[in-house]
Amino acid sequence: MHSKVVSLMLLLGLLLCPASQAANIIWVSQAYDTDVDGVQDDLEAEDFVRSLGHELDVQRGNWTALDATKIAALNAADLIIVSRSTDSAQYATDAAEVGQWNSVTTPMINMTSYLARNSRWLWANTTTINNLVGPTMDVLLPEHPIFTGVDLGAGNTVQLVDGTTGTGQTSMLGMLTLGSGTVIVSTGTSACIVEWPAGQAFYSGAGTPAGNRMLFCMGTQESGATPQGKFNLTETGKAVFANAILYMMGEDIEPGRAASPTPEDGATDVPRDVVLGWMPGEGVATHDVYFGTSLDDVTAASRANSMGVLVSQGQAGDTYDAADLLDFSQTYYWRVDGFAGDGVTQYVGKIWSFTTEPVAYPIENIAVTTNGVSEETSGPENTVNGSGLNDADQHSTEATDMWMAAPGEETPVWIQFEFEKVFKLYELKVWNYNVMFEPVLGFGLKDVTIEYSIDGAEWTVLTDTEFAKATAMDDYVANTVVDLAGVAAKFVRFTINSGHGVMGQYGLSEVRFTYTPAQAREPQPADGATDVDPDTVLSWRAGREATTHEIYFGTDAENLTLADSVTAASFSPGALDFGTTYYWRIDEAGAELWAGELWSFSTQEYALVDGFEDYTDDIEAGEAIFDTWVDGWVNQTGATVGYINAP
Residue 528 host element (H or E): none
* CA dihedral (443, 449, 452, 453) positive or negative: negative
Inter-residue contact 561 to 553 (CB < 8 Å): yes
Q: What is the mean pLDDT of each run of 10 residues along the chain (647 residues)?
A: 30 29 85 88 94 94 96 97 95 96 98 96 97 94 92 94 90 96 97 98 97 96 77 96 95 86 96 96 96 97 97 98 96 98 92 98 98 97 98 97 96 98 98 95 97 98 98 97 98 98 94 98 97 97 96 97 97 97 98 96 89 75 74 61 61
Distance (Å, whole) CA 557 – CA 534: 19
Backbone angles phi, psi at 59, to 5 degrees: -130, 90
Q: Which amino acid is at 257?
A: R
Q: What's the CATH code, domain 25-248?
A: 3.40.50.880
How far apart CA 369 and CA 379 sit, in angstroms, is 9
SS3 call for 43? helix
Neighbouring residues of 538: CB distance < 8 A, sequence distance ≥ 6: 523, 524, 525, 551, 553, 570, 571, 572, 573, 584
β-pair partners for 46:
none
* Dist. CA 529–CA 48, nearest whole Å: 38
β-strands 108-110, 79-82 pairing: parallel
pTM value? 0.70
Q: What is the CA 99 to chain-centroid distance, rounded?
A: 26
d(CA 432, CA 364): 20
CA 472 vs CA 265, 375, 428, 433, 434: distances in Å: 42, 20, 21, 8, 5
Given a contact cutoff of 8 angstroms between Cβ atoms, the answer to whether 112 and 219 are in contact is: yes
Same CATH fold assignment for domains 25-248 and 362-516: no
Q: How far apart are CA 647 and CA 478, in angstroms?
A: 82
Rounded to whole angstroms, the Cα distance separating 638 from 617 reads 18
Q: What is the pLDDT of residue 10?
A: 29
How many other C-beta atoms can be found within 10 angstroms of the C-beta atom of residue 261? 21
pLDDT for res 315: 98
**Max CA distance (Å), the chain:** 107
- The 3-state DSSP class for residue 276 equals strand
Nearest Cα to Cα of residue 190 among 221, 167, 211: 221
Helix (H) or strand (E) holding 125: none
Q: How far is the CA of 249 from the CAs of 19, 187, 244, 348, in angstroms?
A: 21, 26, 9, 20
- Of 179, 251, 254, which is closest to residue 215 (Cα–Cα)? 179
Cis omega (within 30 of 0) for bond into 18: no
Q: Which backbone phi and psi does 465 adopt, to 5 degrees?
A: -140, 170
* Chain Cα centroid distance, residue 118: 35
Domain definitions of the chain by residue range? 25-248, 259-356, 362-516, 521-603, 609-647
DSSP at 145: G
- Given this model, what pLDDT does residue 5 score? 29
Give the integer Cα–Cα distance in Å for 299 and 293: 11
β-bridge mates for residue 331, sequence order: 355
Measured CA to CA, the distance from residue 27 to residue 80 in angstroms comes to 6
What is residue 558's predicted lDDT score, i.e. its pLDDT?
A: 96
Give the Å distances, CA to CA, from 49 to 54, 115, 233, 402. 6, 21, 12, 57
pLDDT value at residue 647: 55
CA distance 551 to 535: 17
Instruction: In whole angstroms, give the CA distance from residue 127 to residue 109.
Output: 19
Beta strands at 319-321 and 331-340: parallel, antiparallel or unpaired: unpaired
d(CA 309, CA 67): 50
d(CA 312, CA 326): 17
Task: Using alpha carbons, select from 111, 91, 112, 113 the residue that is nearest to residue 102.
Answer: 91
At 345, which amino acid appears? T
Q: Distance of CA 508 to CAs 285, 372, 504, Å?
A: 62, 13, 14
DSSP classification of residue 89 = G
Beta bridge partners of 109: 81, 214
Architecture of the CATH domain 259-356: Sandwich (2.60)
The C-alpha atoms of residue 384 and residue 403 are separated, in whole angstroms, by 10
Gyration radius (Cα) of the chain, Å: 33
CA 564/CA 67 separation, integer angstroms = 57
CATH 2.60.40.1080 given to domain 521-603: no
DSSP bridge partners of 354: 267, 332
CATH, range 362-516: 2.60.120.260
| Partners of 333 in the β-ladder | 292, 353
- Backbone torsions φ then ψ of 558, nearest 5 degrees: -85, -15
Q: Where are the alpha helices (DSSP H) in 398-492?
A: 438-441
| pLDDT of res. 537 | 98
Give the pLDDT confidence score for residue 223 in this predicted structure.
73
Query: What residues contact 428, with CB distance under 8 A and at least 6 apart?
Result: 450, 481, 482, 484, 492, 511, 512, 513, 514
Question: Smallest Cα–Cα separation from 61: which of 30, 17, 26?
Answer: 30
